A and B are shown apart, each in its own frame.
Chain A
């Protein structure tokens, strides 16, 4: 398969892994955070930990939009769709995320009109096809998905569509990284920067991480070779005592980002003064809401929602895992009360959540004796 197999080439991967081992040496321990949930998923899916030396520790960051969404927001969105005239539309990732009274899928099994869409424009299509119903798109995601939500609302406005709204949960990545760096129990050496988000925001917004915090950051692609090359680039910086922003994912990420996408976001959204992140608490200016100009498409303005904060189960340690303080399996509930079939925290739901990735791909490997190739 073109554009994929080239980045999974065994020989190149072995060579790059060798270079990592050479650069990493044995004297020092390196803690690198992959910010993006897509990277977390790739690390487990491709078994990258098996080929990295032990002194390189990958810490899973907060870049999984489903995982950082507080339960109260899910409850609020679903409460709107309790009205039989409302269709609840969301990405497939959202469908199994538990609210207080169950996930969107469980609500669907009880009769709520819940639809999986693959893009916001599909939700708008639903609105056109169902003129007697109101379609509410439950929007989630970082800057990766926010532009397509924005463009969809611009189109809805241009077409004068009345029966469509967005329940906006879009968040922004930079304040989350700042919150992690401000966290006192966090010791990190470097960042693997998010690839998809950077296609929109570019690489400049990370410059403060290098300049003020003196941490190297490399924006990385998602194939095994991408991630290993990014680790090589980080190690070279660390060994040279440097801290700069580098772009490994040049084939997709322009340094300046995507101006058209940023413009669409600016047209439709405004920064919220603060927003709650699951497990991390309130982070100022870390999320987007719909602005006055597009108020007619803002589900939060159009509908009454309970707006009740829901605290996570006390025993769940989602926050510590989300910030990388705990490994998924160190949480008290991991694999016991909280499993992919019965997730308690959202980290166990999304394939990009570190708990689900760890549960699905990794944790039983610990029991393995050896992995010799086939005789």
Chain B
């Protein structure tokens, strides 16, 4: 997730606003994508960099250049280990930025890439990651246009970190804005959640748990395009729930639109291996990171069309309607069970799984 105000005129320099970030030092939680991250962005970065009242923070910013609006976003990748079942840091770095643009309603046109490399990194490891990036870029149909490299002393970084910045062309016929969400809208999820986060956790080998599970890293652009084509006028909001998981993304939406997100637990697709690992570790799949899924809110009359389009598109057969927007509980995500129980699901607090992407 990168964050930017939805439409910032390029030529207007922002006024400084007062900062509200009071935490004495940076903790891992500030990078976990949950509550602490949001406080850092809204309390320190946004007031000083964007000026006052930037409005809801989306996955990409829209910038107006002489009347042409382009989407722009950036993302850094520090995942440990850099290779894991189903993917690697190079693939994540391409797909992550392509996906942030896609769920902002934009097609990635070009990426620029920055590497921070640790002295002593074996060349074959670097080469494998550069090849992985090239392959992912080809598959996502995006050009890598420029780059930069820095090397730090051995021990001052963990193998390699990758930052990608992408610009994208807006897809016509759709407006992504949390403030357009209305009571009765349906919440759709493109496929099973938690695969990426649990895969990384297991790949670290600290748990002595094994499972047949792969990261879901992929470009979601084809699925996003399928939804927009089938249900464009009804699409209100999209987000790829990476760090902090689906719960954090939906809590941000609930806060931005002031409505309640009611989810039906039995409708949320979660693989048994992910559920099992979460049960053992006391985690909630709704808090686990994903790299190849997205949430979309559509108006009720377009819900069937959107779901059909997802189900028919390659890689979308497990998509589901997982809930709907209600007036109450305002600003909150509530999960209901088949037997009539319910619970509030808050944003991720703290950081159960650091350096997941």
Contacts and interface: CB of A to CB of B under 8 A. Distances in A.
A354 to B, nearest CB: 14
B25 A109 contact: yes
Contact of B329 (A17, A46, A360, A368): A368
Contact of A14 (B25, B264, B339): B339
B264 A47 contact: no
Interface in B302-357: 323-324, 327-332, 334, 336-346, 349-350, 352
A229 B271 CA distance: 28
B337 to A, nearest CB: 6
A341 B334 contact: no
A105 B341 contact: no
B206 A44 contact: no
B35 interface: yes
A340 interface: yes
B329 A364 contact: yes
A224 B334 contact: no
Interface string A361-373: 1111101111101
Most buried by A among B327, B328, B336, B340: B340
A369 B29 CA distance: 34
B340 A14 contact: yes
Interface in A36-51: 41, 44-51
A129 interface: no
B233 interface: no
Interface string A96-134: 100000000110011000000010001000000000000
A351 interface: yes
Contact of A96 (B282, B332, B350): B350
A367 B339 contact: no
A1 B211 CA distance: 14
Contacts of A118: 206-207
Interface stretch (B67-75, B109-117, B171-179, B272-280): B272-280
A205 interface: no
Contacts of B344: 360-365
A4 interface: yes
A92 interface: yes
Contacts of A361: 343-345
Contact of A13 (B275, B334, B339): B339
A109 B26 contact: yes
B337 A105 contact: no
A10 interface: yes
From B330, B344, B345, residue with most partner A Cβ within 10 Å? B344
B346 A360 contact: yes
Given A46-B337, A109-B25, A374-B324, A367 B330 contact: yes
B82 interface: no
Contacts of B29: 105
B139 interface: no
Contacts of A224: 339, 341
Interface string B197-225: 00000000011000000000000000000
B272 to A, nearest CB: 5
A362 B343 contact: yes
B339 A17 contact: yes
Contacts of A109: 25-28
B328 A106 contact: no
B28 A364 contact: no
A335 to B, nearest CB: 12
Interface in A261-291: none
Nearest to B352: A92
B276 A1 contact: yes
A59 to B, nearest CB: 19
A8 B260 CA distance: 25
A260 B342 CA distance: 40
Contacts of A373: 336
Contacts of A50: 340-342
A254 to B, nearest CB: 22
Nearest to B349: A340
Nearest to B330: A367
B78 interface: no
B264 A374 contact: yes
A368 B25 contact: no
Given A224-B339, A362-B344, A369 B25 contact: no
Contacts of A367: 328-330, 332
A118 B323 CA distance: 35
A365 B346 contact: no
B275 A1 contact: yes
Contacts of B345: 360-361
Contact of A105 (B27, B39, B339, B343): B27
Contact of B343 (A14, A17, A46): A46
B103 interface: no
Contacts of A51: 339-341
A214 B147 CA distance: 75
A365 B330 contact: no
Which one of B206, B260, B342 has the greatest number of beta carbons of chain A within 10 Å? B342
B36 interface: yes
Contacts of A368: 260, 328-329, 334
A362 B346 CA distance: 10
A371 B349 contact: no
Contacts of B275: 1, 4
19 contacts: A1-B272, A8-B339, A10-B338, A13-B339, A41-B282, A46-B337, A47-B341, A51-B339, A51-B341, A106-B25, A109-B28, A122-B206, A224-B341, A360-B344, A362-B343, A364-B331, A365-B334, A371-B336, A373-B336
5 closest A-B pairs by CB: A47-B341, A10-B338, A13-B339, A361-B343, A47-B342
Given A1-B275, A365-B334, A370-B328, 12 more contacts: A1-B276, A8-B339, A13-B339, A49-B341, A51-B340, A362-B343, A364-B331, A365-B344, A368-B260, A368-B328, A369-B327, A371-B342
